[in-house]
Amino acid sequence: MKKYITTLTVKHKNMKPQLALLFCFVLCLSLLGHSQVESLKRRASLGIHLEEMTDSLAKAHNVGQLQGVYIPHVFSEATADELGIEAGDVLIEVNEKEVNSIQEVLSLISNLREDDRISLRYIRDGKTKTVKGKAIGRPKETSEYADVHYEQVVYEGNQLRSILHLPKGKENPPVVFYIQGYMCQSVELAAVPDITIRRLIDDWVKSGYAVYRVEKPGMGDSDCEKGCYDLDFNEETEAFRQAYLTLQKDSRIDSSNIFLFGHSIGGLIAPVLAPELSPKGVITYGTAVNSWFEYMQELTRVQGEMFNLPYAEIERDIRNSTPFWYALFVDQQSNEEILQNKTFYEMLEREGILEDFKNGQFMDRHYTYWSTIHHIEFVNEWSKVKSHVLALHGEYDIQALNANHIYTIERAVNSANPDHATALVIPKADHGFVEFNSMEENIQTLNAGLYRKFLMENYNSEVAKTTIEWMDGIVK
């Protein structure tokens, strides 16, 4: 069970998981149309880069002992900058609590909100100083093409941040409801306006479509009793369901023309929601339809071959991991039960993920997230979808493995509702809407740690062109 194997994304040795995006939901308060009580406060940050202190840094900055955290850069107009913190300072206290590591700083500011009081104690040129003030909210997304609305979804135990891009000058536009992938990350893109997903959003907006996203519980500005890392798949799906119901009530959009766009594992959520909610259309990109037990076996073999691992090693990985996957996905054993198995325990320890699994985490989510996915029959879910469906696969998608899945979706939908589904392969596109000239170039980019650069510079616009042409053809 190699650590590079993960779900609809890749972790190859030193490779970081690539950006994948997802969203939750907005609640229209009763009788208020689209107006919402602005009670969800903006999350704030210090606006600094941090480095762990070393003896050489302590000596260079006249710090009497090895303490604090070094600040090499301060962002303008953020909290620390407004309080007078400068690059080269050494932060030693946050809100009168001593800090000696980056993690300690992050822990103390994890719930920092706009206008919260904050005090920072730091060392500059050998002198200790303390500053106090109010925290400043993080920058928001802006758009040349849209009015950007930061609002909220409220349901039991949760307040979730929603972001709606409304095309400028267009009344009641159709809307794309973007359901991102599995990772517990914020959907906000203010800091990365050139990333591929933001450019896709802009292309939709320029063509007259509103675009809606919402944070998962616990992400971004959201304020929740239970966060993303503790959710199972059904709980996460319910969040998107609530979001759709809220969006339907929004008087600013055309509720008869809502399109679900399920990216990656978002493409598993979409067919679960669509039979009940009846959107105008459903678009999937880079998703799967088989059971999670099957998917993990396929993923291990296909990606192993892509990355030129020896066949004997691939086969050994599959055979060693299959009993563990069966216990987790099929039998739905708890992590405590699984850890009683000596073979599984030793395997997790070898892979360096034993402690995470003890804490309930597996592949960057709660282990129940994956077992609940496994027990949903996605082909059957697709056969219930009466909406128009466009199933897309990127030609050079490493994470979604191959185009077989989209053709299965096409057949499943059309078997119950003829001529409702179309499957298409997007030339030169990968899982993250990046354009590559070959699969080999994609693999080399991932191995070289250059994928983030490609996310900013190599946008494949065919995804936008194909989806816009398809939506234009069925909007009424």
pLDDT digits (tens, 9 = 90+) for 107-164: 999 889 999 999 999 999 999 999 999 999 999 999 999 999 999 999 998 999 999 9
Number of domains in the chain: 2
Percent of the chain clearing pLDDT 90 (strictly above): 85
The answer to whether residues 287 and 424 belong to one domain is: yes
Q: What is the CATH number of the domain that holds 244?
A: 3.40.50.1820
Q: What is the CATH number of the domain that holds 117?
A: 2.30.42.10
Which tokens hold the place of 72? 């090499």
The answer to whether residues 388 and 414 belong to one domain is: yes
CA-wise closest residue to 200 among 402, 450, 414, 426: 426
pLDDT at 13: 33
The answer to whether residues 6 and 74 belong to one domain is: no
The answer to whether residues 158 and 122 belong to one domain is: no
pLDDT at 306: 87
The answer to whether residues 222 and 79 belong to one domain is: no
The answer to whether residues 186 and 204 belong to one domain is: yes
pLDDT at 39: 77
- Tens-digit pLDDT profile for residues 454-467: 999 999 999 999 99
Interval 427-442 mean pLDDT: 97
pLDDT at 23: 28
The answer to whether residues 418 and 459 belong to one domain is: yes
| Domain boundary residue, one of 102, 134, 166 | 134
| Domain boundary residue, one of 87, 109, 134 | 134
Query: How many Cα atoms sit within 13 Å of 150 on the Cβ side?
Result: 21
d(CA 15, CA 12): 5
The answer to whether residues 38 and 82 belong to one domain is: no
Residue type, 140: K
Q: Over 50: is that where the pLDDT of 14 sits?
A: no
pLDDT at 63: 87
Q: At what angle do helices 311-325 and 342-350 cross, to 10 degrees?
A: 130
pLDDT at 36: 45
The answer to whether residues 53 and 16 belong to one domain is: no
pLDDT at 28: 27
The answer to whether residues 122 and 80 belong to one domain is: yes
The answer to whether residues 37 and 56 belong to one domain is: no
- Tens-digit pLDDT profile for residues 335-378: 999 999 999 999 999 999 999 999 999 999 999 999 999 999 99
270 against 32, higher pLDDT: 270
| Domain boundary residue, one of 134, 159, 181 | 134
- Tens-digit pLDDT profile for residues 186-216: 999 998 999 999 999 999 999 999 999 999 9
pLDDT at 402: 87
pLDDT at 409: 98
**What 8-state DSSP symbol labels residue 398?**
S
Number of helices (H) and strands (E) in the chain: give both, helices first.
Answer: 17, 17
pLDDT at 31: 27
The answer to whether residues 28 and 127 belong to one domain is: no
Q: Over 70: is that where the pLDDT of 312 sits?
A: yes
Domain residues for the domain of 345 are 1-43+140-476
